[in-house]
């Protein structure tokens, strides 16, 4: 297992370097001058402009700028915001719990609803139930996040007035953050109604963010289950008279989990990408809205550092998925 782990970690090194090259190049293709951004509306003299260029290393060849940037990354330095003057890593760690809380609730919804739906659709193949689930999954996968989010806001927040429009909790409640997770902090605060307010603010963003992963997980679970249910060992288990629930839940589902886990792992990237739109629509104070605001403010250091941090999270999740492969199916580990 240790060798399997080291091999997977070794594969992350070229991936990390490739992502750093893309992030470094992408920022330099954006229009605008970051040095002029530092000057603000008052502008700056030519002498100060040249001094800032030297300070930030923009006078050096592009390859040397990249090597310096890569060296800073390896030391844990993701840059400093041009606007707030705070380290990018500090701002990211401050805002990431909000995005993580939203993403965790969304992926739990997607797995809890998507896996059973896919199993039932496979068991009832060709039935009205199967066709309804797959049609709904197709609609959910095709639904633009920004349009779906606005529809839910109009209906549930505007017409029915059941849920708030934006934010993480009502302005009536204030307490110092302990964990960064609003659901947990609202419970720890002991304030009456705080937890209910946090839940009501979380419902719509979580549903919007979970829609696409739920559809993908349901369709992938159905496909994997249909493939496994046709195997000889499943037919043998049925011939032995085992209960259908045991055949499906124990023999078939375990072998069908590998592609499903792959989809769940890949959904992390989808969640982080979807969080950018979802957090912007619902004014959710997470890294998605932080990145969008940084683009509008031309805060290049934040954009560059945020891309690397998000890519690092996706790579770590993919590593965990690979390790789960080895635990579920030892043959993959030995191969």
Q: What is the DSSP string of 168-225?
A: SS-TT-----SSS-HHHHHHHH--TTHHHHHHHHHHHHHHHHHHHHHHHHHHHHHHHH
What's this model's pTM, rounded to 2 decimal places? 0.82
Phi, psi of 43 (to 5 degrees): 75, -175
Residues of the chain with pLDDT under 50: 334
On whether residue 142 sits in a domain, the answer given is yes
Q: How many domains does the chain have?
A: 1
Of 205, 169, 181, nearest to 278 by C-alpha is 205
Per-residue confidence (pLDDT) for residue 23, from 0 to 100: 83
Domain that residue 227 falls in? 96-299
On whether residue 153 sits in a domain, the answer given is yes
175's tokens:
């307490």
On whether residue 329 sits in a domain, the answer given is no
Per-residue confidence (pLDDT) for residue 229, from 0 to 100: 76
On whether residue 83 sits in a domain, the answer given is no
On whether residue 316 sits in a domain, the answer given is no
Contact 106, 213 (CB under 8 A): yes
On whether residue 26 sits in a domain, the answer given is no
236's tokens:
């043998």
User: Any idea what the CATH number is for the domain that residue 247 is in?
Assistant: 1.10.3720.10
Per-residue confidence (pLDDT) for residue 228, from 0 to 100: 80
Per-residue confidence (pLDDT) for residue 54, from 0 to 100: 80
């Amino acid at each position: 297992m240790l060798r399997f782990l080291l091999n997977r970690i070794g594969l992350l090194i070229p991936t990390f370097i490739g992502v750093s090259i893309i992030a470094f190049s992408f920022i330099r293709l954006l229009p605008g001058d970051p040095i002029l951004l530092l000057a603000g509306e008052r502008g700056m003299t030519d002498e100060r402009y040249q001094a800032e260029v030297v300070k930030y290393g923009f006078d050096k060849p592009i390859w040397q700028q990249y090597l310096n940037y890569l060296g800073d990354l390896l030391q844990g330095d993701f840059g400093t915001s041009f606007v707030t003057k705070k380290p990018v890593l500090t701002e990211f760690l401050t805002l990431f719990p909000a995005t993580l809380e939203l993403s965790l609730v969304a992926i739990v919804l997607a797995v809890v609803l998507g896996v059973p739906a896919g199993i039932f659709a496979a068991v009832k193949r060709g039935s009205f139930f199967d066709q309804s689930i797959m049609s709904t999954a197709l609609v959910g996968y095709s639904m633009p996040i920004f349009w779906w989010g606005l529809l839910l806001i109009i209906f549930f927040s505007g017409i029915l007035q059941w849920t708030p429009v934006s934010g993480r909790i009502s302005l009536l409640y204030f307490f110092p953050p302990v964990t960064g997770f609003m659901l947990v902090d609202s419970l720890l605060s002991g304030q009456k109604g705080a937890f209910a307010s946090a839940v009501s603010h979380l419902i719509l963003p979580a549903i919007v963010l979970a829609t696409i992963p739920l559809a993908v997980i349901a369709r992938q679970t159905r496909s994997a289950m249909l493939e496994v249910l046709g195997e000889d060992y499943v037919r043998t288990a049925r011939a032995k008279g085992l209960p259908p629930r045991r055949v499906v839940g124990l023999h078939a589902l375990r072998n069908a989990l590998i592609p499903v886990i792959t989809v769940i792992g890949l959904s992390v990237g989808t969640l982080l990408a979807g969080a950018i739109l979802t957090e912007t629509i619902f004014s959710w104070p997470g890294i998605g809205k932080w990145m969008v605001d940084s683009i509008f403010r031309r805060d290049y250091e934040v954009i560059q550092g945020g891309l690397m941090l998000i890519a690092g999270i996706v790579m770590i999740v993919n590593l965990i998925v690979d390790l789960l492969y080895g635990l579920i199916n030892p043959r993959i580990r030995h191969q």
